[in-house]
Structure 1
Amino acid sequence: MESWKKLNDSTYLGKSYQLSGLDTLSAEDVRLEEHHGNLYYIPTVKNQNDGKPVIFTMTTVSADGFVFENPEHDFPQKITYNRMSKDSVAAEISGTYKGKQRAIKFPMGRVK
């Protein structure tokens, strides 16, 4: 689950959540920032990377989705968002982890 809000003309702030039974747990904070014509996805995950953000650069954009990549990151190296319908998207993190290709999907629907 994700929620987003606009901070200004070049920055959106997001939070992703996971459910554990009936509890909602914060998984990561994200900044989506535009600088000099480039778009960056910058997550900060508690208890990972010493609490420092990781920068992913947009490499692909289409009418139905976009891809951010950071080939130097341990895992994931790629974050993909694809529109599935008017009210749903699927996010996927993927890349190489311990020498093996891995991908994890996160289907999401709009909460009304």
Structure 2
Amino acid sequence: MAKKRWYSNSLLLILFLGSCFTASAQVQLADFKYLDQLEGAWVMRTRQSIIAENWTRINDTCWEGRSWRIVGSDSTLEASMQLLRTTEGIYFVPLISGQQSPQPLRLKVRVLKPIGFVAENLSYDFPQKVIYRFKGADQLDARFYGKQQGTSQEIIFQYEKE
């Protein structure tokens, strides 16, 4: 009886192929350039107010965003955000107004493509998942998912470039 070759073992083949697919799905630090589309002012008009989000590139490893609610001539800062590139990966860091937390939230960017990104950290209540999707050069959807007081919530912002 002939010896069974190591590569004929179907379990090894499945493990090898699985690791190839996993590695190809990871976000690369070089993909940080896809965030260049965020640059500038984005607005969403509602009946009562305007929600504005402004993004600025700080340096090669950091984007900074601010979200404002504008009612008439009054404006209120709702949140500050950062997208950070570190040696461990790319992170979305929301700094929500009035939130008392010794450590800022860090959501790891799991998907980063020319059409947008997905960041998540399921150990948080809100947000657990953040999705930014470009729907063209002048349209952007931002979605925030999570739980507050035991209830699942989704907040959707549909921005247009200003």
Amino acid at match of 1:45: I
Gaps of 5+ in 2: 1-51
Q: 1:12, CA displacement in angstroms?
A: 1.2
Q: 1:59 maps to which residue? A: 110
1:103 match: secondary structure: strand
Is residue 2:78 matched to residue 1:27?
A: yes
Larger radius of gyration: 2
Is residue 2:38 matched to residue 1:12?
A: no
Higher strand share: 1
Number of matched pairs: 111
Give CA-to-partner distance per residue, 1:14-44, whole Å, 9 cap, x none.
1111223442211111111101161111111
Gaps of 5+ in 1: none
1:25 match: secondary structure: strand
- How big is the alpha-carbon RMSD for the aligned residues of Structure 1 and Structure 2? 1.8
TM-score w.r.t. structure 2 length? 0.62
Give CA-to-partner distance per residue, 1:30-83, whole Å, 9 cap, x none.
111101161111111121134752111101223312111011111120000011
Q: Does structure 2 retain, via aligned residues, the 8 Å contact 1:45–1:51?
A: no
* Greater relative contact order (Cα < 8 A, sep 6+): 2
Which has the larger displacement, 95-104 or 58-67?
Answer: 95-104
Higher helix share: 2
Q: Does structure 2 retain, via aligned residues, the 8 Å contact 1:65–1:80?
A: yes
TM-score w.r.t. structure 1 length? 0.86
Pick closer, same or farther for the CA change 1:51–1:14 going to 2, 3 Å. Answer: farther
